[in-house]
């Protein structure tokens, strides 16, 4: 199992290959998820918390799916989102390999 609380894109940033500060949580996740997927055993799960204001749920689900994971949805999986403050609405996606 891998559990991550992704940068919310409000005050966080990361350095790209050109050493410039990039503030895109979408790009950070798109780069990290394939590595996480390789680390998981078959049947393993990835739990990811993130700010829906910077990456919509369907876009993050697409990133996870393209990496070979199956996103769990429906029922309780669709009711995990909650407002943290005016700039952050945190949601949680769970995907399995």
- pLDDT tens for the chain, residues 1 to 97: 999 988 766 555 555 566 666 667 788 889 899 999 999 999 999 999 999 988 899 999 999 999 999 999 998 888 888 788 888 889 999 999 9
Domain that holds residue 42: 2-96
pLDDT computed for residue 16 by the predictor: 58
Among 81, 86, 15, 22, CA closest to 48: 81
The verdict on pTM exceeding 0.85 is no
Q: How many Å is the Cα radius of gyration of the chain?
A: 13
Q: How many domains does the chain have?
A: 1
Question: How far, in Å, CA of 53 to CA of 55, rounded?
Answer: 6
């Amino acid at each position: 199992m891998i559990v991550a609380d992704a940068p919310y894109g409000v005050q966080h940033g990361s350095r790209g290959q050109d050493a410039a500060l990039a503030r895109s949580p979408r790009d950070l996740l798109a780069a990290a998820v394939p590595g996480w997927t390789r680390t998981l055993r078959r049947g393993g799960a990835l739990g990811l918390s993130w700010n829906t204001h910077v990456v919509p749920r369907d876009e993050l689900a697409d990133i996870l799916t393209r990496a070979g994971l199956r996103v769990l949805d429906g029922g309780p999986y669709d009711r995990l989102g909650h407002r943290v403050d005016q700039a952050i609405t945190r949601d949680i996606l769970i995907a399995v390999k």
